[in-house]
Amino acid sequence: MTTATSWHERPLRIVDFIPPAPDRYEALDMAEQAAVRSELGFNAEHIEVHDVSLGESGITFYPSEFAVENRKDLLTEIASRNGASGVKTIVYFNVHWLSPSLSEVKPEWLQRDSAGEVIPSAYGQGGYSCINSPFREYAFGTIRTLAKHRIDGIFLDGPIFREDGCYCEACRQQFQDEYGYEPPVGAAIASREDHDWFGFRRSSIARFMREARQALQETNPGAIIYMNSPQLAPNRLCCRDNRMTVAHQDMLLAEGGFLGGDLRTVPVWKPAATAMLLETQAGGKPYCVAIAGRLSPWSRYLLTAAETWIAHAMAVAHGAWTWYGVYNDNNKDARMRTVREINDFLAAHEEHYTGTRSAARVALLWSYATANYYQTTAEATDFTDAKSRLRHLDRNDSRQAFNGWFDALSRSRVPFDVIDDTALTDGTLGGYELLVLPGASCMAAADAEAVRRFVKAGGRLIATFDTSFYDEYGHRLDEPSLADVLGVRQVRGTRVNAFDHIAVEAGQDLFAEIDQTLVPSALLGVECSVREGADVSGFYRERQLSRYSELPDATSSPYIVRHAYGQGSCIYFTGNVDGFYSAYALPEYRTLLANAVREMIEPELECGFETDVASVHVSLRIKGDSLLIHLVNYTGSMTRPMSSVLPLRNVRIRLRERDGWSGECTIRSLRGNRTLAGERSEGTLSFVLPVLHEYEAIVIAND
Ligand SMILES: [Zn+2]
C-alpha cells in the first residue's frame, strides 16, 4: 500500500545526545551508541558532526572542503547505522553561535553593534554569526556538502539577529541597497526606520532559510530542513518570524520544553502553549516541541519522571512531535527509563497521533503586536535575555495577561487553541465560536475590523483591560478600535488599584460559585462609560485611602460590561483580570473567567473528579471519524519540580455530542488499555476513566 504521507508527517520522536569533546567522541563505540538510541524508542536523531562545544568551530567529523579541520568521518558511520535501524538522521548545524577559534580567523562573519564592535555571545565565549555576512557562503557550502551524505534532514540552530545587531559590513551594504539609506541607529520604536530595520532583519532570515533549503534539496530532494523557531515571546528580540519562514521550512520546531530555573514560576503547560501556537502557524505542516531533559542551567541534571512525562504529554496532546535532548554522557541514566516508556507508548499508538487536528472552538490570542510594541516581560532563552522589568506601571504585562487566560482555560478544562495576529485576518478566526483577547492592547485596524466582523456574524468575544486601545505599533488611539464591540462609550482613564475591592453581585451567572461578597479588584482598571444597551456587572469604588479604611463609595465606572453586537456578543472586563489572576491565582478569578466562557459557549467537555481538582489540562482532537480526548494530570505536592503525580481515580467525563456523533461508538483509553462503557443521554456521552496518571488519551471511534 502506498501512502501520501511523507515520513516527517508521521510522529517523530527525535533525540539529540550532545556529544563529548572530539577525542572522546571519536572513541565512542558507534554500534553500541546506535543500539542505545533504538532501545530508547527514538525514530530520528539530531546528530552533531561539527564540534560545537564552544559554538560552530568549522571542525567537522566528515570530509568537507569548508572545514577548518577535518576529523574522523563519523557522519558516514552514524548515518549508515541509523539508516539500518530505521532512525532518521538529521544533522544539527549551528548558524547563530561562532566559536572563539573561528571568530578569530573569520571576524567578518560576526554580528556587530552600531559602533562596529563584535556583540559578545551570552554563552560566555565566541560571538554571533551573521547570516548576511560571508558566513552564508560557508553555511550553504556546508549544507551542500552534507546533502551528499545519507542524511534525512538538517536542523538549523538559529538563525537569529540580536536585538542590538547587526551592523556588519554586509548588513550595512544590503540594507543601503534595499532601503536607500544607512541602517538606522537608535531609531525611535515604531518609527519608519524602526519598521524598515525590523523588516530587513526578519526578511534576511526568511531569505537565508529559502536559500538553505534550496542548497539542501537541489542535491537531496527528500531531505527536510527546519530552524529553531521562536516561542511565545516578543519576536523583536530575535527577529525570527514563523509566518515569514514557514514557507521555507518542512516543519516548525520550538524549544517549548526547555525548562529552567525556579520551576515554581514556570507554567507547567508551557510545552502545550508552544505546540498550540506552532499548530496555528505551521499551516498544516508538522510541528515539534523540543524538550530538554535537563533543568537549566544544570546541563547534566535530569528532570524527574513526572516532569518529563508532563512535558511530553503537553506537547503530544496538541499534535506536536517531540525532540528530547540531553548530554550523551546521560544516555544510560536511570531517568532515561521514563523517556523510553513515553516513546514506547507513542510508538505503539502512532496512528492516533498522525494527521489529527484540533477540535477546539475557543481561540486565545497571542498578540505579537502587543508583545513587541506595548510592554511585556519575557523569559530568558538561549537566544534572548530575560525581560523582567516593566517600564510603565499603569500598563499591563502582555505575557502575564496571556498566561492568566491560558491557565484559567486550562484549569477549567476548556479545549482551546492559541492563535496569533495573522490568524485574525487569514480566515482562521471564522472557525471558532469564541475569541479571547487577553489584554490585546495593540491591534491593527484591519485586525480590529476582522474581530468586528467575527462578532457581527455571531461570534463571541471576551476582552480585557486596554484591548485595542493602541494601534499595531503602540500608538495610543483616541478611542479603542473595538469600542463599539466592547460596548464602551468613553474612556476616562486608567486606574491603578492597590487594595481595592469589587462587590460580587449575588444571583449573577458570572459570579456563580463565588462565595465572597467582595473580591479584590484587578490591579489595573479602565474607567469608562458604556453604550446604550450594554449591561454592567460590578463597579469600581472611589480610591481607597488605606488598607484599613472604610470601604469607599461605588463609582459609575463598570468592572464588567456585557454587550450584544450584531449576531454576537462580548464580555469586556475593564480590569486586567487575566494578569491579576496570573499573579495571584485567586480561585474566585479562575471561576469568574470560566463563568464568562460558559456564558458564551456551552461546555464541550466536562470532567468530574472525586475531589476538587483543577490541575488537569485537556485537549480535544479529531482524526477522521474518531475523536481524541487528551488529559494531562499535573496534580502534585504543591511544588516543582514535581517528584510524582498523584493519580486521580474514577474521572467522570461528559462530552457534548457533535454533529455526526449520534451512532454507536467505542471508547478506549490508550495508556490504561481499556474499553470504557459509555452512556448516552440528552445529547451527551458520559463515561468513567478508572485512573488518570500523568497522561491519558481516550479514543472515541464511531462504529
Ligand atoms: Zn550582519
CA–centroid distance, 382 to ligand 1, in Å, is: 19
- Ion ligand 1 residues within 5 Å by Cβ: 130, 132, 166, 168, 171
Fold held by 362-600? Rossmann fold (3.40.50)
CA–centroid distance, 223 to ligand 1, in Å, is: 28
What confidence score (pLDDT) does residue 660 get?
Answer: 65
474-508 pLDDT tens trace: 999 999 999 999 999 999 999 999 999 999 988 89
329-374 pLDDT tens trace: 999 999 999 999 999 999 999 999 999 999 999 999 999 999 999 9
CA–centroid distance, 242 to ligand 1, in Å, is: 20
CATH of domain 43-233: 3.20.20.80
Compute the average pLDDT of residues 677-682. Answer: 91
103-126 pLDDT tens trace: 999 999 999 999 999 999 988 899
CA–centroid distance, 243 to ligand 1, in Å, is: 22
What confidence score (pLDDT) does residue 385 get?
Answer: 78
Residue 313 in contact with residue 630, Cβ under 8 Å? yes
Binning pLDDT at 50, 70 and 90, where does residue 702 land? Answer: confident
What confidence score (pLDDT) does residue 389 get?
Answer: 84
Q: How many CB atoms lie within 10 A of CB 251?
A: 23
Which segments of the chain belong to CATH 3.40.50.880?
A: 362-600
* CA gap 415, 617 in Å, rounded: 9
Q: What is the mean pLDDT of the chain?
A: 95
* CA gap 437, 398 in Å, rounded: 11
612-669 pLDDT tens trace: 999 999 999 999 989 999 999 999 999 999 999 999 999 999 999 877 666 789 999 9
* CA gap 349, 370 in Å, rounded: 40
CA–centroid distance, 125 to ligand 1, in Å, is: 19
What confidence score (pLDDT) does residue 657 get?
Answer: 84
CA–centroid distance, 105 to ligand 1, in Å, is: 17
217-252 pLDDT tens trace: 999 999 999 999 998 999 998 999 999 999 999 999
Looking at 5-96, which runs of residues are DSSP E strands? 13-18, 44-48, 59-60, 69-70, 88-94
Which segments of the chain belong to CATH 2.60.40.1180?
A: 605-702
CA–centroid distance, 661 to ligand 1, in Å, is: 56
What confidence score (pLDDT) does residue 123 get?
Answer: 86
CA–centroid distance, 367 to ligand 1, in Å, is: 28
CA–centroid distance, 70 to ligand 1, in Å, is: 27
CA–centroid distance, 383 to ligand 1, in Å, is: 16
What 383-389 contacts at long range (C-beta under 8 Å, 24+ apart), as own/partner pairs, is 383/96, 383/158, 383/160, 383/228, 383/237, 383/238, 384/163, 384/233, 384/237, 384/238, 385/122, 385/237, 387/234, 387/237
CATH of domain 605-702: 2.60.40.1180
CA–centroid distance, 57 to ligand 1, in Å, is: 19
Most distant CA atoms of the chain, gap in Å = 79
CA–centroid distance, 163 to ligand 1, in Å, is: 12
Buried/exposed 675-703: b ≥16 CB within 10 Å, e otherwise:
ebebeeeeeebebebeebbbbbbbbbbee
**Residue scoring higher pLDDT (470 or 392):** 470
* CA gap 676, 662 in Å, rounded: 18
CA–centroid distance, 201 to ligand 1, in Å, is: 9
CA–centroid distance, 128 to ligand 1, in Å, is: 9
What confidence score (pLDDT) does residue 662 get?
Answer: 65
Which segments of the chain belong to CATH 3.20.20.80?
A: 43-233
Binning pLDDT at 50, 70 and 90, where does residue 384 land? Answer: confident
Binning pLDDT at 50, 70 and 90, where does residue 2 land? Answer: very low
Express as a percent the part of the chain with pLDDT over 70: 99
CA–centroid distance, 112 to ligand 1, in Å, is: 7
